[in-house]
Structure 1
Amino acid sequence: MTTDFESRLQAAVAAGEIAGATAVVVDRDGVAFETAKGLRAVGGEAAMTPDTVFWIASMTKAVTSIAALQLVERGVLDLDADLSGLVPEFRDLKVLEGFDEAGAPRLRPARRAPTLRELLTHTSGYAYGFLSPDLLRLGGPVNTGTKADYIQPLQFDPGEGWVYGVGIDWAGFVIEAASGQSLDAYFAEHVFGPLGMADTAFVPGPEQEARRAGVHARLPDGSLAPIPFAMPQGPGAWSGGGGLFSTARDYGRFVRMLLNGGELDGVRLLSPQTVDLLSQVHTGERRAGAWKSALPTMTNDVDLFPDMRTGWGLATMITPEAGPNGRSAGSLAWAGLANCYYWVDRAAGKGGVFMSQVLPFGDAKALELFGALEAEAYGR
């Protein structure tokens, strides 16, 4: 029987509003629902399938956060310690305070280095250029595949605000320095291998590449156009903030691990106490998870819950109130730039993943479909 969500997804595909998408709903015991509709790329012939591979962008952040918290549990890292001994770049951080009349940046020394807690909660001061007109004006390297991509001045002193940015990429460098492993090797050994996430990696293998969905741009008339897309290849600087490729099936296993308090199929990644800790808001009264765009080709203005004071935990956004489509208060959620989304409702024991590939982020049609998937999961 075709569900309401499947009908709406198929209608969106037929109308050319979306090329295609995959989705799963999971509970603590397994997959409750799975579907794939449409094509992997506009103008192509390959159909979307449940094992289609997507660039999941910032859905990488939760994986990096879990990896960092594993090292905290082992006593290798501390959430609130000085990290400048592990990351030399933290010893000479600057805060950007605007530009003088001649157009030169006004920089001053940061009062201190960010902590791991601040990197994970986006309170470090590190921003994304597509959210910061000042960083765009400053310019700098983009997608060179090296650590230099992430060297930039802070927007404020660590701990003094909230801004979405590359802090979790720096958390990835912290993991590498503390563990002695490259980030891809650490993930493979400590996250993807234990969880059976065989289709998740920074660099898809040939078999995964053959199943990859194309990335599209939403044009002014609402239509879609395929666009060239590739992440920098090689070990220069694995992006712990946005570099992974995965499938809805694989990420559904990651969601199930969180639903089960850090364990899946008898394999434990985190203690229940740590999962409880990451599920708490660590940003106080600061509004987290909403922004104004500085680069409309990358992201729209975004406020996923305009009537709610959302916060940020140690891995995800947290919605402290019940959501309009069924999720419980205290649920975890986040997304990837090309309009992939997930939620983790630990109270109800449900979660879901929706994957598409269209820019800019915050696409109205993708968000509508993600909302319909969530409503389907709760029988709304």
Structure 2
Amino acid sequence: MNILKTGLGAGAIAIASCMALAAPLAAEQLPRGDAAALGFDPDRLARMDMAFNAAIERGMMPGAVVMLIRDGQIAHLSTQGLQSPDGKPMTEDTIFRIYSMTKPVTTAAAMMLVEEGRLILNAPVASYIPAFAEMQVATGNENADGTPETRPATRNMTVRDLMRHTAGLTYGFFGAGHARDAYNEAGVANPELTAMEQAELLASLPLEHEPGTTWEYSRATDVLGAVVEAASGQSLGDFLKARIFDPLGMVDTDFYVDDSAKHPRIAEAFPDQAKIGPFDMFDPRVRMASESGGGGLVSTVHDYSLFAQMMLNGGELNGTRLLSPKTIQLMTANHMDGIQPGKYYLPGPGYGFGLGYGVRLSDGNAPSFGSAGEFYWGGAAGTFYVTDPQEDLIGLMMVQTPANRVPLRLMFKNMLYPAIVDSRVD
């Protein structure tokens, strides 16, 4: 093994299942292999497709694309249902908003700069964005005039904190608190803000936690994107294109879809399932100032599989090396020692957190099948991916259904692993 070792139902739309030997599209793709030869039971894979079709018939989402990769080959690829409620069939090249699946990409970009000596993991964020020099932490109390009471932070926020969500930042839509209220009042989600403008605005607001103490899902990776801009001298979009997307052949991955010829390929959710917290899903057809390193990319299953395989290969794909194997090992190690999990610990029971990824700590103690050392993340609109180095396995699920993302992810993982009949784990 490598790295880490060197549709709709009969009355509507039939399942469109594109199996391993289907003709490739124009974009760069991984090679296709035989599912049985790669250790999968074809009948169990068909059972997984049937489960997704049943979920589509129940109205959980318009459609889905599922890809399984083993030994660097596509073992299974199915497209089911509709790309959007308007009736277009789901296809292999459907473009999805991947939201927080952007985070591993931005983190990988930052780690390139770490390898080049242009970023230091334990350096203060203020070394790159001076506005973060004197941060205040919300105490949970109010001043006499009703404004949030704050105190000076006792520790600098570091680049590593941004990567592992221990920076003290938050999102404006989890729970309630003075920091969250301040985010909403300040308009940090305004898509007309550039990455640097948003970062400097966040620096002017109180932190939810003392840096380095508590895991809280947050806009930290958005700030990391601004750090990449400061260290590289490029916009985040330009850096990602030059250093990751173009070298890997990810032709359909970007912050926006500027080519109008691609617009009909963009997936959409059912209208009553399209809210992410208080927000509507963003429209990638309309270019705004925002390039969100934490949640702004769109991609396809084929494009993202190239990034995922590069990570599993230890930083290399098809002779192009982006990162060192030791860097991948550091990113996918657990960085949670001494850190409180916080109220909304999204990695879940049985998982730690690395740099940009949830990391499974053991074979047990988790609500789904998996192996110790697997790393994963997903997006708010439903996309999800998992990499299992022990099984030399990548699983990708692409859907657009913010409302049903959690049950679909559990279903995917709990049907993916039982389809393996030739396990590499002793």
Tell me whether 1:93 sits opposite 2:164 in the alignment.
no
Secondary structure of 1:311's counterpart equals: strand
Match of 2:111 among 62, 65, 69: 69
Equivalents in 2 of 1:166, 1:232: separation in Å? 23
CA RMSD of aligned residues (A): 2.4
Equivalences for residues 224-373 of structure 1 within 5 A: 229-230=282-283, 234=287, 236-286=289-339, 288=341, 291-292=343-344, 305-306=348-349, 308=350, 310-322=351-363, 326-360=369-403, 362-364=405-407, 366-373=408-415
CA shift digits 1:284-318 (9 cap, x unpaired): 15465x854xxxxxxxxx76644x2x211112010
* Residues 61 and 269, structure 2, Cα contact 8 Å, conserved in 1: no
Secondary structure of 2:295's counterpart equals: coil
Superposition deviation, residue 82 in structure 1 = 2.4
Equivalences for residues 91-130 of structure 1 within 5 A: 91-100=133-142, 102-130=145-173
Provide the TM-score with structure 1 as the length reference: 0.87
Equivalents in 2 of 1:214, 1:343: separation in Å? 23
Equivalences for residues 76-87 of structure 1 within 5 A: 76-87=118-129
* Residues 369 and 414, structure 2, Cα contact 8 Å, conserved in 1: no
Which is further off, 94-103 or 272-281? Answer: 94-103
Q: Which amino acid aligns with 2:406?
A: D
* Residues 385 and 394, structure 2, Cα contact 8 Å, conserved in 1: yes
Superposition deviation, residue 26 in structure 1 = 1.2
Name the structure 2 match of 1:143.
190
Superposition deviation, residue 324 in structure 1 = 6.1
Equivalents in 2 of 1:125, 1:377: separation in Å? 40
* Residues 5 and 372, structure 1, Cα contact 8 Å, conserved in 2: no
CA shift digits 1:17-50 (9 cap, x unpaired): 22111111112422111111111222x1101111
Secondary structure of 2:292's counterpart equals: coil
Give the direction of change, closer, same or farther, for the CA distance of 1:234–1:49 in structure 2 (3 Å limit).
closer
Equivalents in 1 of 2:51, 2:340: separation in Å? 32
* Residues 60 and 244, structure 1, Cα contact 8 Å, conserved in 2: yes
Secondary structure of 1:133's counterpart equals: coil
Q: Which amino acid aligns with 1:76?
A: R
* Residues 255 and 296, structure 2, Cα contact 8 Å, conserved in 1: yes
Give the direction of change, closer, same or farther, for the CA distance of 1:169–1:162 in structure 2 (3 Å limit).
same
Count the aligned residue pairs.
Answer: 359
* Residues 191 and 290, structure 2, Cα contact 8 Å, conserved in 1: no
**Structure 2, unaligned runs of 5 or more:** 1-41, 274-279
Tell me whether 1:189 sits opposite 2:242 in the alignment.
yes
CA shift digits 1:152-181 (9 cap, x unpaired): 321112112111101111111111110111
Equivalents in 2 of 1:303, 1:164: separation in Å? 7
Equivalents in 1 of 2:52, 2:155: separation in Å? 49
Name the structure 2 match of 1:213.
267
Superposition deviation, residue 114 in structure 1 = 1.2
CA shift digits 1:312-368 (9 cap, x unpaired): 11120101112665421011011101111110111211011111111237432x224
Name the structure 1 match of 2:20.
none
Name the structure 2 match of 1:41.
84
* Residues 213 and 340, structure 2, Cα contact 8 Å, conserved in 1: no
Name the structure 2 match of 1:198.
251
Equivalents in 2 of 1:113, 1:216: separation in Å? 43
Identity %: 34
Name the structure 1 match of 2:222.
169
Give the direction of change, closer, same or farther, for the CA distance of 1:41–1:198 in structure 2 (3 Å limit).
same
Secondary structure of 2:91's counterpart equals: coil
Equivalents in 2 of 1:291, 1:341: separation in Å? 22
* Residues 94 and 267, structure 2, Cα contact 8 Å, conserved in 1: yes
Name the structure 2 match of 1:299.
none
Which is further off, 181-190 or 112-121? Answer: 112-121
* Residues 369 and 413, structure 2, Cα contact 8 Å, conserved in 1: no
Q: Which amino acid aligns with 1:212?
A: I
Name the structure 2 match of 1:222.
none
* Residues 145 and 238, structure 1, Cα contact 8 Å, conserved in 2: no
Equivalents in 1 of 2:381, 2:220: separation in Å? 20
Q: Which amino acid aligns with 2:299?
A: S
Which structure has the larger Rg over C-alpha atoms? Answer: 2
Name the structure 1 match of 2:37.
none
